[in-house]
Structure 1
């Protein structure tokens, strides 16, 4: 009898509590003053905020097709997942792209293809003043800081780089213990000088020298600007700025960290080159370069002219486009500031050639480099090697949830929340990073052979075509190559 009584009473009692909660919520909604929708539609109005919250997931899983997802479409995400997991890498029934649309791009092939290279080519970085040259893969991990990424993601990327023989760029957040698992590093210095700064934010040469001396550090990159937010500086939300991360960076914990918009160490092109020289000396001759998004063309031309005047040259330059990725940026900066990748890369290549500097300076490029064709195209346009950030994140398991700036990343990649991080198992994910790199480079070599080329220097702009209105032109026609030294005549 007691069991029967409980069976009857508890559902009624439970529904009464639920009804009271809903009634209370409705009363609160009617009298709160922050949300018009809730005042006009109490209780039901919460559905709007729920749907808005899961909008990206609804769009991704139920609305978008294979080619229209933003910023990275479903087909490209699948491309990475399949290579990371060593799954089926073929695509059925032909292309889904509209090959007649404006800006459609394709490469020419040869009916006399060359043999596929048995070993992936390497690129030697280091100009005449470099004492510790570095042999790099054509495909590497772009700049992503520990703090923006979780420790598990950082470790998985580094272990993948170690086993795949490619490098990981630390991002401007400094070098953590999670970067030191055996993989090669490019140590990036941003405007905040994290890891080698005073508490007031000034550059600290002694601390830089200590970090640069680490065996894992193969190159140093000065971050002038980033494509996704040029002229703005990095942002680390307070929710991600733990005590550990603050100690690594040399800042106060649990506060929003905004990198300054510009550098304190230099204010003009000559000072920049003098700082390149200083960092090369402090690092005992390791390759020094800088990363930038092109804005004012004349500023880059001034730097090139100062290279001629002073004889000081960086060993490499990393070119980022305005389409570049980020964990957190004001949308106006992401959408409307900086030159798009294709035009930026071509401008830098042509300017270096025009001043006869390209022979001593390698060009790295990073903006939506995901597929083997992206690498092929970038090298044809004049780059020497490529980096990828979002591609490597997808290899780790990113699902493009667009929660990077909230510390609520569901895949444990861009969060420091322990309950979310635990889902990213380092021992499994580093293998996927390695696989994605290796399979993408392998497919690049197949494209390379199909083009009939035998060495990287054979690639040029005549290999890539694009649809322009009703005409088809190769890039050599659209952007004629500037001969070495033309601007010096």
Structure 2
């Protein structure tokens, strides 16, 4: 990770000086350097903490979401102290905390921070003795006031196409009870869901969870892989008229506590390419206005947020930034149960040293400073609100003196072109024709 951004997170979390002397340390003339241009008529934005409404036509209980929230990290991968500190930080800063696929634990509920409950292929906290989805268990927990949204996990950027992994060394009896799994072996989630087996089935599951939760926003998370499969979901939306309230796009560069190295390094679509594809697909079928997009992967600064919002995201989730705010030192021992800071371990001798009260304030500090920096950045560019950010605002040096905007690099598809079958770009036509609402492949 770039030391500049790691230091920035630490400084904002501790409310230390986050300015820099002597100008940028980046090589602004290298290929790939990116920036946003300012305006000679900057705007003073008074609303430093805007909210984005999540909840489409089928949602009865919309939720107002912060631009920056805590990404999916499970209890089990993280310690109870880390989960409590994150959730208390979310409560202090009025933003949301994604549970990760490891289930809804008492530590997520203790301090009252808003929860996005993630349901993975293992259906942890809502599974029967055979590992299948249990409607009654789900409804009991999903209707808690603290649970604001439900996210179905289809795949994860760090290991797409592979189930989640909790090493046996980190499995305690308490975690086994919360997840409803046996002790003694690593907990490996199935690679796919048993509750549905097609794009149409996914949307029917979305509708079922929305009903069981009492009308709360329901969406799904995925790393983009086979593009025709995502377009199959879009076709299923058109056929069923069931729309998710949001889609979380996870980048292949995202982090994890444990993953096979081939999957970490060489599988899945990176975040920016994934977000622009999903945004264009929803535009092409004429449903973008109903569905919010969350971006998730290596987001640490206000510019990172603005850049991905320009590509089409409505809000962002950060795991790495929040872990650094907690005090992560990147010891790379997440999968060994030997984390020295007490964040990614189930060893009481280690996690009891993590001061929940102190670290929660640091999480809230990082969030506050970063969102305020985002709004200051918008004001400097003469942009009044987050939804005004678009492709033309971000510049990239593509080589030598050749500079392009994202508008040049990522041409948008025409609205409704996929739905109407007219003006479909050549590189979209084949994958759209291959997409099916009734089966994945």
Residue 19 of structure 2 corresponds to residue 90 of structure 1: yes
Q: Secondary structure, in 3 states, of the residue corresponding to 2:151? A: strand
CA distance in 2, matches of 1:410, 1:73: 21
Normalising to structure 2: TM-score of the pair?
0.94
1:455 aligned partner: 385
1:44 aligned partner: none
CA distance in 1, matches of 2:183, 2:403: 55
Q: Which of 208, 214, 222 is matched with 2:144 structurally?
A: 214
CA distance in 2, matches of 1:235, 1:152: 20
Q: Which of 241, 244, 252 is matched with 2:171 structurally?
A: 241
CA distance in 1, matches of 2:249, 2:185: 31
Which residues of 2 match residues 176-187 of structure 1 at below 5 A? Answer: 176-180=105-109, 181-187=111-117
Q: Which of 356, 376, 380 is matched with 2:310 structurally?
A: 380
| Greater helix proportion | 1
CA distance in 2, matches of 1:270, 1:422: 46
- 1:186-215 Cα distance to aligned partner (Å, 9 max, x none): 000000000000122111111000110111
Which residues of 2 match residues 145-184 of structure 1 at below 5 A? Answer: 145-180=74-109, 181-184=111-114
- 1:261-280 Cα distance to aligned partner (Å, 9 max, x none): 00001111011111111111
Report deviation, 1:467. 1.3
Q: Which of 409, 412, 434 is matched with 1:478 structurally?
A: 409
Q: Secondary structure, in 3 states, of the residue corresponding to 1:345? A: helix
1:26 aligned partner: none
1:282 aligned partner: 212
1:342 aligned partner: 272
CA distance in 1, matches of 2:141, 2:99: 12
Residue 337 of structure 2 corresponds to residue 411 of structure 1: no
Residue 224 of structure 2 corresponds to residue 300 of structure 1: no
TM superposition outliers: structure 1 runs of 4+ over 3 Å = none
CA distance in 1, matches of 2:388, 2:193: 38
**Count of aligned pairs between the two proteins:** 418
2:322 aligned partner: 392
Contact 1:307 1:313 in 2 (8 A): yes
Q: Secondary structure, in 3 states, of the residue corresponding to 2:97? A: strand
Contact 2:294 2:313 in 1 (8 A): yes
Report deviation, 1:413. 0.2
Contact 1:240 1:254 in 2 (8 A): no
Contact 2:223 2:251 in 1 (8 A): yes
Report deviation, 1:410. 0.3
2:434 aligned partner: none
Normalising to structure 1: TM-score of the pair?
0.85
Q: Where does the alignment leave 5 or more consecutive residues of structure 1 unmatched? A: 1-71
1:402 aligned partner: 332
Q: Which of 413, 421, 435 is matched with 2:351 structurally?
A: 421
Contact 2:48 2:372 in 1 (8 A): no
**Higher gyration radius (CA):** 1
What RMSD, in angstroms, separates the aligned Cα atoms of the two structures?
0.8
CA distance in 1, matches of 2:195, 2:47: 45
- 1:51-81 Cα distance to aligned partner (Å, 9 max, x none): xxxxxxxxxxxxxxxxxxxxx2221110000
Report deviation, 1:483. 3.2
CA distance in 2, matches of 1:262, 1:102: 39
- 1:228-272 Cα distance to aligned partner (Å, 9 max, x none): 000001000111110000000000123210000000011110111
CA distance in 2, matches of 1:218, 1:125: 10
Contact 1:370 1:391 in 2 (8 A): yes
